[in-house]
Amino acid sequence: MVIMKFKERISQLVKERKSLICVGLDTDPDKIPDHLKSTENPVLEFNKLIIEATSDICVAYKPNSAFYEALGPNGMEILKATITAVPSEVPVIVDAKRGDIGNSSRMYARAVFEYLEGDAVTVSPYLGEDSLAPFFEYKDKFAFVLALTSNPSSQDFQLRNVEGKPLYEIVAENVQKWNKSDNLGLVVGASHPDKIKEMRNISGNLPFLIPGVGAQGGDLEASARFGTDNGKSIALINVSRSVIYASDGVDFAEKAREEVQRLNRELSEFEIF
Amino acid sequence: MVIMKFKERISQLVKERKSLICVGLDTDPDKIPDHLKSTENPVLEFNKLIIEATSDICVAYKPNSAFYEALGPNGMEILKATITAVPSEVPVIVDAKRGDIGNSSRMYARAVFEYLEGDAVTVSPYLGEDSLAPFFEYKDKFAFVLALTSNPSSQDFQLRNVEGKPLYEIVAENVQKWNKSDNLGLVVGASHPDKIKEMRNISGNLPFLIPGVGAQGGDLEASARFGTDNGKSIALINVSRSVIYASDGVDFAEKAREEVQRLNRELSEFEIF
């Protein structure tokens, strides 16, 4: 059996499902519907039901490590069990924003790829290439490097002028140079639609992970059209809160499915598949 | 009882113990002495013995989260148990290099300060102020923001020219602005002695955490003199591998103590206390 790499798996799912939607599993125990709160493991139960309801219509999942770490002693086990609950055909991006000197990054990569068995990871570029190489060296895995994020304070550093270009462009250029194993991509926030276009122009064919649509107010059409360069490149659009908390009642999983279907219908209007 | 804040606690320990040494607990199961490998929890056993042997002569501990995450299911519990094993008078810095949008950083802060009960944390600045504010808002806790790191690839972004200054200076200036609760400091790598001096000049009184002495080859004297501005500011010098792996035999804890004592003696020659 030939094992497909992350990028090929995503490409195939995008074509088959006519979707770019990555479901963000940022599960906050305070926001879980009441009827699940008495179960043995409410967060895992919630995640399993969301996954069951959506795994045939989305193209990836992205659990955010922060939400699991905050759970305390069993957080990492719940994260691992969540990843295990995703059907094998759908890739999982561990959203971890890691980045440390090489010695330490090797340990983070081991945690994400070997213990958690994630297919991809998000990493933070501040320490430069040698801090990210331990992730890149897993050639069958994939890493999305933060370039331009969707929060207002992205202007503090990412938008600053570095030798004539914004810092996020310098990051994007470096990631292209580092991409020797064709397993790197960029995180580009949806709150900057004009910049997604600009970024696509300077980033060649690098896959984009685009957070910020939904609760954070990003523009779906701009993200999809500019992110994929009208269907020529890979762009995953991550949606978390507006899908997983589409309802706080017993119908939460059904409503989550309806929200992904609604997003897929909207995407279908842009003629990018 | 008045609870002293991190900065005051460090100041007092520095004076009392005439030390700047922070012991980095980057415990790699492969490097644990053979006689501990058959114990129930070798990493925790190793850490407890290192702590027992050094907790009266150092001023802080810094476990690196990466090494515990790489352990798998019980990693976070071992990290928490390690932090609990440190006598209450010695502060613990959780080296986590976290940084994400506010919603997620709040969860990371909860994990580090509430579940793990760390006294301080290291954070990564790429996403800007709102990504770090959830850490800063724990006013009795402390956060060291990465400015200039000790790895060769720090040149990829940190040393780039941003509007006439290197990016790490822009970070240092911002951290001073953000420091409304007097609970922020900077990470400044020991492999750049001239830059530690420059950084002290532009960073006012911000405490420094200086990694890179020991296995990474940084200069103890320059780190101590420039980092503390000859005793006028706080600088913690982190030493990991050269202390905790000073011996791989049954005498590892004794040798770790001797190495901290040796470093303290060397520090005593610089007339900074």
Active-site residue, A97 included = yes
Token pair listed for A229: 């360069």
Q: For the beta carbon of residue A221, count every other beta carbon within 10 angstroms.
A: 14
Residue to mutate among B130, B138, B151, with most A CBs inside 10 A, is B151
Indicate whether A152 pLDDT > 90: yes
The reported pLDDT for the residue numbered B212 is 87
Q: CA A225 to CA A203: how far, in whole Å? A: 15
The reported pLDDT for the residue numbered B193 is 87
The reported pLDDT for the residue numbered A192 is 83
What are A32-43's pLDDT values in tens digits? Answer: 999 999 999 999
With beta carbons less than 8 A apart as the criterion, state whether A13 and A90 touch: yes
Q: Cβ contacts (< 8 Å) between A104 and chain B: which residues?
A: 26, 64, 66-67, 95, 97
- Average pLDDT (B187-212) is 94
Closest Cα in chain B, distance from residue A64 (Å): 8
Annotated catalytic residue: which of B48, B80, B97, B197? B97
Indicate whether B2 pLDDT > 70: no
Confidence of residue B192 (pLDDT cuts 50, 70, 90): confident
What are A189-215's pLDDT values in tens digits? Answer: 998 889 999 999 999 999 999 998 876
Q: Cβ contacts (< 8 Å) between A162 and chain B: which residues?
A: 160-162, 167
What are A82-99's pLDDT values in tens digits? Answer: 999 999 999 999 999 999
B5-43: b (≥16 Cβ within 10 Å) or e: bbbebbbebbeebebbbbbbbbbbeeebbeebeeeeebb
Annotated catalytic residue: which of A18, A97, A197, A255? A97
Residue to mutate among A126, A148, A213, with most B CBs inside 10 A, is A126
Write the CB contacts of A221 (distance below 8 Å, at least 6 apart in sequence): A266, A270
Confidence of residue B65 (pLDDT cuts 50, 70, 90): very high
Domains belonging to chain B, first-starting first, are 6-268 (3.20.20.70)
With beta carbons less than 8 A apart as the criterion, state whether A187 and A122 touch: yes
Phi-psi region of A27 (alpha: psi -120 to 50; beta: other; left: phi over 0): beta
With beta carbons less than 8 A apart as the criterion, state whether B120 and B143 touch: yes
CA count, 13 A, side-chain hemisphere, A9: 22
Beta strand B60-63 with A208-210 is unpaired
CA separation (Å) from A48 to A17, A80, A95, A239, B117?
A: 21, 12, 18, 17, 30
Q: Kindly provide the ipTM of the predicted complex, given to two decimals.
A: 0.97
Q: CA A65 to CA A43: how far, in whole Å? A: 13
Q: CA A271 to CA A224: how far, in whole Å? A: 10
Mean pLDDT of chain A: 96
Q: Residue B218 gets which letter from DSSP?
A: B
For A99, which residue in chain B has the nearest alpha carbon?
B97
Q: At what angle do helices B220-228 and B193-202 cross, to 10 degrees?
A: 10
Indicate whether A156 pLDDT > 70: yes
- Average pLDDT (B61-80) is 97
Beta strand B235-239 with A165-166 is unpaired
The reported pLDDT for the residue numbered B196 is 95
Nearest alpha-carbon partner for A184 in A214, A223, A147, A239? A147
The reported pLDDT for the residue numbered A144 is 98
Indicate whether A218 pLDDT > 80: no
Q: What percent of chain B has pLDDT over 70?
A: 98
Q: CA B121 to CA B140: how far, in whole Å? A: 12
B207-223: b (≥16 Cβ within 10 Å) or e: bbbbbbbbebebbbebb
CA angle A40, A45, A48 (to 5 degrees): 155
Closest partner CB to A67 (pick from B107, B130, B131): B107
With beta carbons less than 8 A apart as the criterion, state whether B199 and B186 touch: yes
Write the CB contacts of A135 (distance below 8 Å, at least 6 apart in sequence): A98, A105, A108, A109, A112, A113, A121, A123, A141, A143
- Average pLDDT (A115-138) is 98
